[in-house]
A and B are shown apart, each in its own frame.
Chain A
Amino acid sequence: MKAAIIYTSVTGNTSTLAEIICEKMNNHHIETDLIPVDEFQPQLLHNYDIVTVGTYSWDNGDLPMEMEEVFEAFEEEEVNHITTGVFGTGDSFYPYYCGAVDMFRDMLYVHTNLAVTLKVELTPQDEDLHRCEKFCDRLASELAVVS
C-alpha cells in the first residue's frame, strides 16, 4: 500500500502542511511519496492507493495554474479505485477561502473515493496539527476498509 502527496506551494505554507501530513502518514506505516507538482506525471497516479493533493488558492479562490495538469489527470486517468484527500492553505479574508480545495473536492468526489478535506489558514498553527492527524487517520481507515 502506497500513498502520494502531490502539492504546490509559493510561500511555503502548503509545503509545510504537506510535510506534516507526510510525516503523519509515515507514522501510520503507510509509505508516502512527497511529489512537488513540477515532478508530477499523470501516469504516476496508478502507482498509489492513496493520493492527497495540496494546493494554495490564488486571489479569488482560484486554482493555481500549475495544478491544472493534476486536476485534468484525475479526470482523464482511471482513478475510481483511489482513495483521495485534498488539503490547502488560504486566507479567510478572501470570499472563497481555500477555493482551490473546494474545486478539487467537487471533482475528486466524482472521480475517486474522496475521504477527507482540510483547510488551514496560512502557516499551520498548533490546532492544525491535530487536524492533520485526523486527516491521516481518515485516509488510513479508508485503506483498512478496502484491504
Chain B
Amino acid sequence: MTQVDQSLTKIKLLNPTYPNKATGIINGESSGLLNWNDIAYPQMYDLYQTLLANFWKAQEINMQDDIKQWDNLSETEKDVFLRINTQLASLDSLQTPTMTHVMDYVTDSSFKAIFAVISQQEAVHNESYSYILSSLVPLREQNERFDQAKEDPIVRKRNQLILDSYEAFRENPTPQRLFELAINSINLEGIYFYAGFAFFYHLARQQKMLKTSTMISYIQRDEMQHAYFVSQFVRILLTENPELNTEENIQYVYQTVDKAVQLEKEWADYILKDIEGIDLDEFHGYVEYLANKRFRQIGLDNYYPERDNPMEWIHVFSDEMMNETKSDFFEQKSRTYTKVSSSNGFDEL
C-alpha cells in the first residue's frame, strides 16, 4: 500500500514536544497550539481575516418586502423558488459536518481554524434557507419541500457524486481520499450552487424577492472564499505530497469536475426550463466558463473553450446595494480621485 492510501491518524489535541508551526498540512508535526504570527503559510491569516470580515446573519435581513411580494410570484416561480431553496439547503447540510470532520486529520492548526470558520458559515447558510422558508410558507409545506428535495432523482444523482467521495473519506481517511474530497468540495461550493444563484439573481433583476437575493449574495461571497481556500488547500496538498501530484490525479480533477458540470447543466435544464429570461444554452456556456475558472484556480489549464463570462449579472451585490457602509483605505484617508476612462486618452484593455 502506498503512502497516499494509508489512513491518516487523528492528531492528538496537544503535542507539547512538537513545534507550533506545523511541518505539514497532513501527517505533519504540530503542537496543536496556534500562534497566527508563526504559521507555515502566512497568507492564510489574510484569508482567515477575509472570511471573518464576511460575517453576517440571516436575522439581520428583514423579510417583510419579500413576504409582501411572495403572493405576486407566479405558481411556477414559487415552485422553483422552494425547490431550489431546499436543494441548496441540503448541499449546505452536507458541508457543515464534512468541514469539521476534515479538521481532525489536518495537522496545521491555522488550516483547522479556517475549516472551523467555513463550517460555521455553512451553518449560517443552512439557517438562512430555513429563515427564508419560515417567512414564506408554513411548516407542513417546508417539510414537504425538504422531502421533495430528498426524493428528487436528479437532485439525488447530483448529490451522489459528492456523497460517494465524502463517505469514502469518512470510511477510510487517506491522503488520496482527502484530495478527492477537496475536489468534490470545489464541485459543491464552486459549481453546484450556480443554477440556484442564477434563479435568485434573475428574480432580483426583475426587482423581485430582493431580501432573499441579498442573502444569496452573502452566501455567494462566502462560497467564493471557500472555493478559493479549498483550491489553495489542494495546491499546497499536492506540493507538500508529490506522490499525490500524479497524472492520474490531474485526470481525476478534469473528469470529476466535468461530471459536476454535466450534472449542473442537467439540473438547470430541469429546474429552470419554465423560467422565462434564462437562456439554458447560455447557462451551459456559463457553467463551462465557471469550471474553467476553478481549473485555473488550482493551477490547471482550461478544459472547456475559452470564453468571456456569458452571464455577468450573476455576481455578488456591491456594498452599496446591500446598504452597507464599510470603512476602507480611501474613506479613512479621505482621498478620492475622479473616475477616469479611456475617453481621457489612455487605453482600457
Contact = CB atoms under 8 A, between A and B. Distances in A.
A138 B347 contact: yes
Nearest to A61: B318
Interface residues of B, number: 36
B317 A123 contact: no
A14 B315 CA distance: 22
B142 to A, nearest CB: 30
A114 interface: yes
Nearest to B330: A103
A39 interface: no
B306 A121 contact: no
Interface stretch (B90-98, B273-281, B335-343): B335-343
A122 B232 CA distance: 13
A116 B50 contact: no
Instruction: Name the residue among A60, A106, A122 with the largest chain B CB count within 10 angstroms.
Output: A60
B306 A95 contact: no
A63 B329 CA distance: 8
Interface string A103-144: 101110110001111110111011100010011001000000
Given A59-B53, A60-B326, A116-B346, A106 B339 contact: yes
B339 A118 contact: no
B246 interface: no
Contacts of A40: none
DSSP class of A's interface residues: helix, strand, loop or mixed?
Answer: mixed
B296 A92 contact: no
Contact of A117 (B220, B338, B347): B347
Contact of B349 (A63, A93, A110, A119): A119
B318 A117 contact: no
A78 to B, nearest CB: 18
**Most A CB within 10 A of own CB, among B317, B340, B346:** B346
A120 B292 CA distance: 14
Give the dominant DSSP class at B's interface. Answer: loop
B79 to A, nearest CB: 27
A93 B348 contact: no
Contacts of A59: 50, 53
Interface string A80-107: 0000000000011111100000110111
B42 to A, nearest CB: 10
Given A60-B319, A93-B220, A106-B339, A11 B232 contact: yes
A106 B329 contact: no
A33 interface: no
Contacts of A121: 293, 309
A122 to B, nearest CB: 5
Interface in B197-253: 220, 224, 232
A117 B349 contact: yes
B297 interface: yes
A23 interface: no
Interface string B257-290: 0000000000000000000000000000000000
Nearest to A97: B315
B314 interface: yes
Given A60-B318, A60-B319, A116-B349, 11 more contacts: A12-B299, A60-B328, A62-B329, A92-B312, A102-B339, A114-B340, A117-B348, A119-B349, A125-B302, A131-B349, A138-B346
Interface of A: 10-12, 58-60, 62-63, 68, 91-96, 102-103, 105-107, 109-110, 114-119, 121-123, 125-127, 131, 134-135, 138
Interface of B: 43, 46, 50, 53, 220, 224, 232, 292-293, 296-297, 299, 302, 306, 309, 312, 314-319, 321, 326, 328-330, 337-340, 344, 346-349
Name the 4 nearest CB pairs between A and B, nearest first.
A95-B318, A106-B337, A123-B296, A118-B349
